[in-house]
A and B are shown apart, each in its own frame.
Chain A
Amino acid sequence: MRTFVEVIRDNSVYTQHAHTFVRVDGTERVVTFPELWKWACQRANRFRELGLKKGDRVALILPDPDAFVLAFIGALTAGLVPVPMYPPMTLAKMEAYGETVRHILASSGARALVTVPSLEPMLRAHLVDAAREAGTVSDGVRVILDAELEGDLPEKAVAPCEISIDDLAFLQFTSGSTRMPKGVMVSHRNLSANAHAIMFDGLHATSKDRGVTWLPLYHDMGLIGFVIAPAFAQVEVKFLPTLTFIRRPSLWLDAVHKFRGTITFAPNFAFALAARAVSDEQSREWDLSCLKAIGCGAEPIQPETLRNFVARFSSKGLRSEALLPCYGLAEATLAVTFGSTAEVMRTEKLDAASMHRGEAVLVDGADGPEIVSCGRPLPGFELEVRGAEGARLAERMVGEVWVRGPSVMTGYFGQPDATAEVLDGEWLCTGDLGYLVAGELFVCGRTKDLIIIHGKNFYPQDVERIVSETDGLRPGQCVAFARAGVDGEECVVVAEANSASIDPREVASKVKLRVRAELGLPVAEVVLIKRNTLPKTSSGKVRRRDTKVRLEAGQLDLLVPRNAPVPKARSSSPARV
């Protein structure tokens, strides 16, 4: 089994293929595979000259894809452990961003941070704060500007370091739904195993395939899916900056059309954005028949969104078989299951009442939840669905999804307790709820988010879908969760109001009525908060548990004061002062 670094080295001899990097300013840079290896060695040597040694963690905050990829591969070639981090977004709450930066630098024990001049002053300010907080400046984090890594392309490329397959490759920080991200330790063995599975078993890729991506490279789907895995099949990739896609959604499929891309991936929201924001004018010339795999993963998949996307672009040659729902998680490196590249997306309509009992029973009716098949596990992976007591459940029984396989992490960096919470021997607890049918995985939600009231299971997504459709509230900007009430568990909804002028009481009672009518679930409280204040992860997913904690701590930006459902006559409540 070759390491990724060996693959980059070998590719430089076998092929003249090239990656194309589109920069934030719109210019393009083409790097051939032989050049990629030379640059990797040049960057690696620079890292060494700057005093970094094998095993040292080096954080990367680099918005341009070419700068990021060269620094990342260079660091790996030097035996360093890169820690990819996300750049600040516009309007990002800078305080929260700084907090995350400080947390990741501290918990990874990074010795250096590579960034660009425009971000340096802001990041330096956070580093000073971090040092002050920690009370130590002794070994501080060194800031390296990307330009300091540059140099001439060497005549002969020599890697400064030997890397073995069981070495730690990099740390993938993942936020999950907790507030402070944890660093998944990804080894070279994990990477090689998952890259093979993705490229050859999942995508049946050959060196003639071409990838197109705008996914952020600090995130596993962009980094492993398009920087690492394609190298194993000598696949060329066109990289677009993430924000460029968000600003001009047509650029994604335009790049697929022009580059004749065969493989691309995106989370659910991007399919909705592309279907909505691409004009007929922009797509007039498109021929998307080249696409053989357009993967969807990383966030819950809405079948309707994908169907709309296919309907929108089928006249441009987009084949419905190309749509590929997948399932994976950073703790398993990236991919665990893959849909088939030869079949159309499969979904199941389920009986809502049975789902409350934890059983996935098919119905013909239109009203029940519809769940997408994420396909079968990649070779070497095993899946189990376990019940509350840890026993393995039968087919079609909904429980917690556990995974065993060659790319499951060894743990979170420096966090044995958090690791022990999710690893049971070789088995990884994904925290996702799902069920199996003939080996195919159907994912229904997150275990810890399940709302269990009087023994009946309710999925927060179902409640949130209904809340989203309520006038005066923002679609998708709401969460539902359970909390301990006077008579056991009760359901709470927190939702962003569309504007300050809505009638909070009317909206709240509408939500309660509709949720009860559709799901039979009584909602104990509807908390309305101001626009754009719902806690989210860096990739925009809602944070149910964090929202719950903040609600209890009085840290949400309420639209109107809560008419507090004060527990009746509880003498234990804190005295008023």
Chain B
Amino acid sequence: MSDQKDLLGLFKTVAERVDRRSFETVTRESVITDLGVDSLSMMQIVGEMETELNVQIPDEDLVEIVTVGDLCSKVEHRLV
């Protein structure tokens, strides 16, 4: 479950659900603001990922997230 690809896939699925558009070309290196995800959508994406995986990322960690990979790492960290 903590496999990198799974989390990236989960991000895409959830982001598509929240923002209602395709995130097919997203990689772990993608900068989230460049994807045009605003902070409200971002919080919803984080929330849905957390619910799906039953983890919680502390707020102060969220401030440090810049890329999709950063978000995946924060989630991975909580899964371990």
> Which A residues are closer than 8 A to B by beta carbons?
24-26, 63, 88-93, 116, 118-119, 122, 241, 243, 246-249, 269, 273, 277, 474, 496, 498-499, 530-532, 540
Contact = CB atoms under 8 A, between A and B. Distances in A.
A474 to B, nearest CB: 8
B58 to A, nearest CB: 7
A246 B43 contact: yes
Given A91-B65, A277-B44, A540-B40, A243 B59 contact: yes
A532 B42 CA distance: 11
B51 to A, nearest CB: 7
B35 to A, nearest CB: 7
B33 A532 contact: yes
Contacts of A532: 33, 36-38
Interface string B35-57: 11111101110110011000010
Nearest to B50: A247
A92 B60 CA distance: 12
B30 to A, nearest CB: 13
Contacts of A499: 21, 36
A498 B47 contact: no
B33 A91 contact: yes
A122 B36 CA distance: 25
A86 to B, nearest CB: 12
B11 to A, nearest CB: 14
B47 A248 contact: yes
B60 A119 contact: yes
Closest 7 pairs between A and B when the two form their complex, measured CB to CB? A531-B36, A247-B47, A118-B60, A90-B62, A246-B43, A532-B36, A89-B39
A531 B39 contact: no
Contacts, number: 70
A93 B32 CA distance: 12
B56 A26 contact: yes
A246 B36 contact: no
A90 B60 CA distance: 9
A347 to B, nearest CB: 26
Interface residues of B, number: 23
Contacts of A92: 39, 63
Contacts of B39: 89-92
A243 B39 CA distance: 10
30 contacts: A24-B58, A24-B59, A25-B58, A26-B56, A63-B59, A89-B43, A90-B59, A90-B63, A91-B32, A92-B39, A116-B60, A118-B63, A119-B60, A122-B63, A243-B43, A243-B59, A246-B40, A246-B44, A246-B47, A247-B44, A247-B50, A249-B44, A277-B44, A474-B36, A496-B36, A499-B21, A499-B36, A531-B35, A531-B38, A532-B37
A540 B47 CA distance: 19
Most chain A C-beta atoms within 10 Å of own C-beta, residue among B32, B56, B59, B63:
B59
A91 B51 CA distance: 20
A90 B47 contact: no
Contacts of A91: 32-33, 37-39, 42, 65
A531 B44 CA distance: 17
